[in-house]
A = this chain, B = another copy of it.
Amino acid sequence: MLDTITASRNDDVIAREWAEASLAIVASPRQPAIESMLQGVPVQRRGVRRKQTLFYAGQPCHSLFLIHAGVFKTTVLSEDGRRKITGFHLRGDLLGMDSFGAPVHACDAVALDTGEVWEIPLATLRDHAPELLPHVTTMLASEIRRDWNWMLTLGTLNAEQRVVAFLLDFAARVEALGFSARHLLLRMTRADIGNFLALQLETVTRILSRLAATGLIVVDGREVRIEDAGALRRMLVH
């Protein structure tokens, strides 16, 4: 993957171009920018149904998957069966990157509702869009920074603050996709949220009820309306 090489061009030239491209890219907020870069690249569009697994950890990985619609979760699993959700993913996110340089996938990717992904075989990436590779590197780096931020959140905030952080993060992400930041439709269960935030599902429920009781949000099942984003944000200030 990291090879990109056609017979006519030599390694040094390719590598230098790659380096320049990487250095030129500045951290960009989330956007389906990748989608527009795939002009002329033959991708395989693939519909997925709720609860369908896109790929399993341990499976050979030969493609990246660009989310075009739907919400996904990725999970890691320990030998003794402990499972942890490592993230929720929306349109524009790239699934499978984390296995770069590895022969098999490191996580499971599961659709939380019906959706569509664009499958990009690594061979296609290499042959048709090698200029995209630096972007993958950049996205990997920003994934690390995102993970670190969640580590910070989980490691230093209490249960209530974690749930609030989750809601605000989700709101910001759907807003960046052009949807309302006020009306959230959580596609995941309370158990999923709890797993991600290192809390029990009962704790998540209780906290949502409490927030609703104080009027900061309105909860109706998986629909959450944010009534006072400012107050929520202030709760995160330690």
Q: Chain B residues near A76: list those with CB within 8 A.
A: 148-149, 151-152
Query: Would A100 and B130 count as touching, CB distance under 8 A?
Result: no
* Contact A2 B134, beta carbon cutoff 8 Å: yes
Count of chain A residues near B, Cβ 8 A:
75
CB pair A81–B141 under 8 Å, yes or no, is no
Q: Is A114 an interface residue (CB 8 A)?
A: no
Give which listed residue, B16, B26, B125, contacts A101 with CB less than 8 A.
Answer: B26
Choose one: B126, B154, B156; the contact of A19 (CB below 8 Å): B126
Closest chain-B Cβ to A202's Cβ sits at a distance in Å of 16
B101–A27 contact, CB under 8 A?
yes
User: Does A16 contact B103, Cβ atoms closer than 8 Å?
Assistant: yes
Check B141–A98 contact: CB distance below 8 A. yes
A82 touches B15 (CB 8 A): no
Minimal beta-carbon separation of A155 from chain B (angstroms)? 4
User: Would you list which residues of chain A between 130 and 144 have a CB under 8 Å from chain B?
Assistant: 130-131, 133-134, 136-144
- A142: chain B residues within 8 A (beta carbon): 101-102
| Contact assessment for B12 and A130 in the assembled complex, using a CB-CB cutoff below 8 Å | yes
Least Cβ–Cβ distance between A6 and chain B, in angstroms: 6
**B-chain residues with CB within 8 Å of residue A125 when the two chains form the complex:** 19
Further 9 A-B residue pairs, CB within 8 A, beyond A80-B236, A100-B140: A1-B134, A15-B131, A18-B130, A26-B101, A27-B101, A84-B151, A86-B148, A101-B134, A150-B151
Question: Could you pull out 30 A-B pairs where Cβ atoms are within 8 angstroms?
Answer: A2-B134, A3-B11, A3-B15, A3-B134, A5-B7, A11-B122, A11-B131, A14-B122, A15-B103, A15-B133, A18-B133, A19-B133, A21-B101, A23-B122, A23-B126, A27-B102, A76-B152, A82-B156, A84-B148, A86-B148, A97-B144, A98-B148, A100-B138, A101-B142, A102-B141, A102-B145, A106-B144, A144-B144, A154-B198, A156-B198
State the A residues within 8 Å of B (CB): 1-7, 11-12, 14-16, 18-23, 25-27, 60, 62, 76, 78, 80-84, 86, 97-103, 106-107, 121-123, 125-127, 130-131, 133-134, 136-145, 147-152, 154-157, 195, 198, 236-238
